[in-house]
Structure 1
Amino acid sequence: MAERKGFFRRIGAFLEGLRRFLVNAVFLLLLVLLLFALFASGPELPERFALELDIDGLVVDQLSPVDPLSELVQGETVAETRLQDLIDSIDRAVMDKRVALLVLSLDDLEHIGMSKSSELAVALERFKATGRPVLARAAAYDQDAYLLASSADEVFLDPMGGVVIEGFSVYRNYYRDALEKLAIDFHLFRVGEFKSAMEPFVRNSMSEEARAANEEWLGQLWGNYRQNVASNRSLEREQLDHYVNRIDEVMASYKGNLARAALEEKLVDRLVTENQWGALMRDNVGIDEDGDYYRVGHRQYLALTEALDAANTNAVGVLVAQGVIADGEVVGDGIGGDSFSELIRKARKNDAIKAVVLRIDSGGGSAFASEQIRQELRLLKQSGKPLVVSMGSSAASGGYWIAADADEIWATPATITGSIGIFGAFPTINRSLAKLGIATDGIGTTEVAGGLRVDRPLNPVVKRALQSGIEHGYQQFLSVVAEGRDMLPEQVDKIAQGRVWTGEDARQLGLVDQLGSLEDAIQSAANLAGLTQYRRQWVSPTLPPLQALVNHLLEQTGLSARVAVPGWWSPVSGLVRDFLQMRDPNGMYAYCTECSAP
């Protein structure tokens, strides 16, 4: 028996050694390929070429760190494209006469959203002002890609494709009956008439308050979408409405040919196959040694050109708060109370950084971590450095909590913000266990001992205490906003109650100071610091050496970053995952579930 165990141990050790060898070998191979790509890319750009904005996957404010070892294990990946890289490449192209035209390559775009689209569209207008064209091309356009494409001078579509626009919506699954069948009691604690984050667990339908609030902000965003597309394409809004709402009639008019419908309804300018597109571009910019047209992707273009502000010594630091706000350390996508506070300290102690812009793209999360981050931001302000907030797609609930003390708050009209409210939740499964014949009994030394066990009914004393804590948290949230925005708590309460607002409404209500882009916020921060010449300095977390090397090589070679996505992803599991990540020590959350912005 001992010999057999020893044999299996040796086999196990051999397999573990083999696994490590293979993983290390693949990693080294990847490193060699990246180095080869870096040195093989060459320092020269063509004398005339098309600059392609090859927008892959999700457009984000900050790329997730690339860990090749994790990707080997998890498998499925989704690409990311950094918004600022797109804008920087456009702005460099404005001054670069070698760039004959810009191409929006949208086949691989997963999501950008209205807010980021509007910021990118402003940069595209700067390029169009030089007299050089912007072209958009895709095999097919969903409404996200089409909004961006509509900013182009010409929109090209494959004859087998189409343009699909459906409008915006908020639909959820509701679980009250399912939980009742499972005999699970879901205890919800909240303050705010419109704080609907946990409604799916206690209702079978959307509440009238949530319906009214969602209808208002969704309607406003849809109105902006219609206006932008109609203006960009010189269409009547009624014409676009007919295309969307009567798509069955539209398609019947063109015998089911969606591409022809898009062309005749003036949503696109030309139908071209891939070969026809190549021929068109070769006529524009010439033919390279491979028979293709001269083109350079925006990542490679950034790697081969110099930033205009690189020589300046004074800097405006940019910190990106992206994802769920969680207690403790967070590596990758997300905002950790401890780890993000360390980034703020890093910016505060850097003498070259004279002002800070906090870019927020978050629906919130842990109230404890939000307050921790806010306190660190207050120390930064006390050091004499101006603090300006730039809101991206969303800066709501905890995302607004950390914004409130800024010297200025900027947002785009399509930013989702507000959602000033607090909630907590606690499930109990004693009835469910009873159906299985499992009982819980015992004794405690106080009236509340064991009061937070999920296998017991929720203790009434504990229940009242939890609600009291949530109400205190809400009052604290009101005070934070009132102090930061120079308002009375009563004034904040009228526009709080967990209600979601667009950036446009938030400016009118005093929650936001200005409408504009991240670049506008950076310029404003520089002005507050008295800087006429400055550079941007992105303040990023320190990565492990090998991971940092891989990320640097990806940037230098112009390859896109990729982030692993679990195969079990779904809206439900995503919501549960977010709550598991937040891990607030007091079980108190400032989180907006509506803020997956259009």
Structure 2
Amino acid sequence: MKNPFIERLWISREARLAIVVAILSAAGSVACASGEWKAGIAILGVAVAMVAAFWFAVVRPAQIPRDAVVIVRLAGPIEEDVSRSPLDRLMRRGAQSLDHLRYVFESAAIDDDVRAIVVEIAQFGAGLATAHEIHRLLRAAQAGGKRVIALLRGDSAGLREYLVAAGAGEIVANPDTMLTMLGVATGGVFLKSALDKLKIQAQTLQWKEYKGAAETFGRDTMSLAVRESMEAIVADWEKILIETIASARKLTAQRARELIAAGFVSAKFAVENHLIDREGYIEDIRAEFDPEAKRKVFVGMARYRRHAVFTRERGRRARIALVHASGPVISGEAPATGEFISGVATAAQIDRASRDERVSAIVFRVNSPGGSAVGSDLVWRAVREAQGRGKPVVVSMGDVAGSGGYYVAAGADAIVAEPATITGSIGVVYAKFNLGNLLNELGVHFDFVKSAPISDAMSMARAMTDGELAQLNETIGHLYAAFTAKVAQGRRLSPEQTEAVAKGRIWSGLAAKERGLIDEVGGLSTAVAIARERAHIAEHQRHQLVTYRAERRWLELRPGSSDASTPWAIAAAAGALGIPTRWAPAMLEMLVRGGVMLLCPFIEL
């Protein structure tokens, strides 16, 4: 039971340190006055050491110069949340965290000590929705009165990199950087003919016609239904790019449409057509802010984050829990590498947050193409139980929240998605591979003793019969019905309305909003604002966003979720299939194993 007085009492770190130092100083002085010089000096020495340690470990690293210029580098993979063990951190494993980027940009936008933000952009690994969110963060900082400069410094910059840069007030590009303005395209790999040549038979079932995740193995081209949904996604993505870039660069919609499909263009062409402001180098930008080259004005992202945490995270505040779920959903043994959502572990994180009396609401960040039906259901149930304990749950969707990724979100109090988020794909897919003919060619033979004709139905040595497939299809239909019923209940839709937006179809965030699959279009900040409202946190009261992660051992040797930990063969297969490298181990394991999956096709710009 909480003590109301203790709850109202808040003492800063400095005050607590001052109290302890005052007590030690008094004790040391008394000891010296009593003739106990050694003990007195030792106690006083401890007091001085505590003050010095606090200064050098906490205060000094958090100091930045006035009129600081914050330098942020965007390159390589950008992950939702980089949770690393101490050993990972010592080995400098892991990728850049989108959480940290949000915090730095939002803090710098309102920090009187920050004069400007410079963002160096090379090729980075993130989807269109993530790029759009970072774009808005930069525009918000610019609207807050900060000078924001984006530098395109990679060998090439595609539309995602350019979309981020367009959020800045000024865009500079290295003279040799090529802009690849290729418009929007998406698709997939189709392996049926290749599997036929290898004498591998893929048996697939899908509920329903738009559920195209298994078409990779069962077809040589897209089905008409999947093509219809892909064309709608491409049209929405093009609309988002045109409207955002036209607004940011003060272009007409028609001119923006032409420029995002201009092809392979030089920095010189980009200047002439107002895509960027000038050619230049990071040294030119540094010289503008620091003519004497003392370099004291520039502050890196890590250092600025320490400063922001030190100056902003003070006082008694309402607590909002943040739980991340990123990657394919699994229910059993975790893959050795890569990023995934463990149904058991994620449910436990939500449960822990919901049982914490200090937590007023839960923001559940989902970035997942789906996966295990059982794993997804465990998370869905944890969300409902959290609500039963009086904790509102608001979902914020990242680049993709499809199939099982939508299942885990369907029961939340509110759902927020980016305009470009791939969402929906409410359906079920099944895949099984018959390797019998290939293995026979290689001289590998199987022989079984069975209690019933169906006993070896799951064996890779034979295909399922028509009767077995029909029975399995009926069972999958029950799973589809359970999925759609949960969506109807959570989204307050009639069965007819739910079926109209289900059938395995994917939607953009824009289309999902129109059809009632989400509540608001926006990013994590929008989800937090809704969580505050649902938790009845007063407008004047500040909050703290606390991440609840799965517990890990201090010296856990399991690699982090960086791409560097993924074997090259898996990384190559991921590139061919259009799967993010950090998700590849879990997704490829699911596809090879086969079975019932709540999986949507992952498509990217």
TM-score range, shorter chain: 0.7 to 0.9
Q: Supply the distance in 2 between the matched residues of 1:82 and 1:386 (Cα, whole angstroms).
A: 25
Q: Aligned ranges for residues 64-463 of structure 1 at < 5 Å?
A: 64-65=83-84, 80-107=95-122, 109-140=123-154, 141-247=157-263, 258-283=266-291, 287-288=293-294, 292=295, 294-305=297-308, 306=310, 308-328=312-332, 330=334, 333-463=339-469
1:340-370 CA distances to partner (integer Å, 9 max, x unpaired)?
A: 1111111121110121111111111111110
Please say which of residues 237-246 and 402-411 is displaced more in the overlay: 237-246
Letter in 2 for 1:51: V
CA drift of 1:330 comes to 4.6
Letter in 2 for 1:145: E
Letter in 2 for 1:317: A
Residue of structure 2 equivalent to 1:22: none
How many pairs were matched up? 534
Q: Supply the distance in 2 between the matched residues of 1:241 and 1:314 (Cα, whole angstroms).
A: 45
Distance 1:432-1:155 versus aligned 2 partners, 3 A rule: same
Q: What secondary structure does 2:568 align onto?
A: coil
Please say which of residues 268-277 and 314-323 is displaced more in the overlay: 268-277
CA drift of 1:67 comes to 7.3
Q: What secondary structure does 1:540 align onto?
A: coil
Distance 1:516-1:453 versus aligned 2 partners, 3 A rule: same
CA drift of 1:281 comes to 3.1
CA contact (8 A) 2:402 2:425 kept: yes
Please say which of residues 400-409 and 227-236 is displaced more in the overlay: 227-236
Question: Which protein has greater RCO, CA pairs closer than 8 Å, 6+ apart?
Answer: 1
Alignment match of 1:55 (pick from 74, 84, 87): 74
Distance 1:132-1:69 versus aligned 2 partners, 3 A rule: closer
Q: Please list every run of 5 or more consecutive structure 1 residues that lacks an aligned counterpart in the other structure.
A: 1-36, 252-257, 552-559
Residue of structure 2 equivalent to 1:567: 568
Q: Supply the distance in 1 between the matched residues of 2:333 and 2:347 (Cα, whole angstroms).
A: 10
CA drift of 1:64 comes to 4.5
CA drift of 1:520 comes to 1.5
Q: Supply the distance in 2 between the matched residues of 1:197 and 1:561 (Cα, whole angstroms).
A: 25
Q: What secondary structure does 2:453 align onto?
A: coil
Distance 1:434-1:238 versus aligned 2 partners, 3 A rule: same
Distance 1:582-1:349 versus aligned 2 partners, 3 A rule: farther
CA contact (8 A) 2:129 2:419 kept: yes
CA contact (8 A) 2:208 2:427 kept: yes
Alignment match of 2:481 (pick from 475, 479, 486): 475
CA contact (8 A) 2:87 2:554 kept: no
Distance 1:279-1:142 versus aligned 2 partners, 3 A rule: same
Q: Supply the distance in 2 between the matched residues of 1:581 and 1:308 (Cα, whole angstroms).
A: 43
CA drift of 1:585 comes to 10
Query: What is the root-mean-square deviation of aligned Cα atoms in Å?
Result: 2.9
Q: Supply the distance in 1 between the matched residues of 2:165 and 2:272 (Cα, whole angstroms).
A: 17
Q: Supply the distance in 2 between the matched residues of 1:391 and 1:245 (Cα, whole angstroms).
A: 28
CA contact (8 A) 1:347 1:353 kept: yes
1:518 aligns with 2:524: yes
Residue of structure 2 equivalent to 1:545: 554
TM-score, structure 2 normalization: 0.82
TM-score, structure 1 normalization: 0.83
Q: What secondary structure does 2:178 align onto?
A: coil
1:46 aligns with 2:65: yes
Residue of structure 2 equivalent to 1:590: 598
Q: Supply the distance in 1 between the matched residues of 2:59 and 2:320 (Cα, whole angstroms).
A: 34
Letter in 2 for 1:379: E
CA drift of 1:402 comes to 0.8
Distance 1:590-1:270 versus aligned 2 partners, 3 A rule: same
CA drift of 1:437 comes to 4.5
CA contact (8 A) 2:326 2:367 kept: yes
Please say which of residues 211-220 and 82-91 is displaced more in the overlay: 82-91
Please say which of residues 367-376 and 576-585 is displaced more in the overlay: 576-585
CA drift of 1:162 comes to 2.7
CA contact (8 A) 1:356 1:388 kept: yes
1:457-516 CA distances to partner (integer Å, 9 max, x unpaired)?
A: 324443222212211111111111011111222321111111111111111101111112
Distance 1:287-1:547 versus aligned 2 partners, 3 A rule: farther
CA drift of 1:373 comes to 1.1
Please say which of residues 390-399 and 310-319 is displaced more in the overlay: 310-319
Q: Please list every run of 5 or more consecutive structure 2 residues that lacks an aligned counterpart in the other structure.
A: 1-55
Q: Supply the distance in 2 between the matched residues of 1:580 and 1:276 (Cα, whole angstroms).
A: 46
Letter in 1 for 2:108: A
CA drift of 1:142 comes to 2.1
Q: Supply the distance in 1 between the matched residues of 2:386 and 2:239 (Cα, whole angstroms).
A: 39
CA contact (8 A) 1:393 1:416 kept: yes
1:257-305 CA distances to partner (integer Å, 9 max, x unpaired)?
A: x12111111111111134433322324xx642xxx36211122111133
Distance 1:503-1:518 versus aligned 2 partners, 3 A rule: same
Alignment match of 1:504 (pick from 493, 505, 510): 510
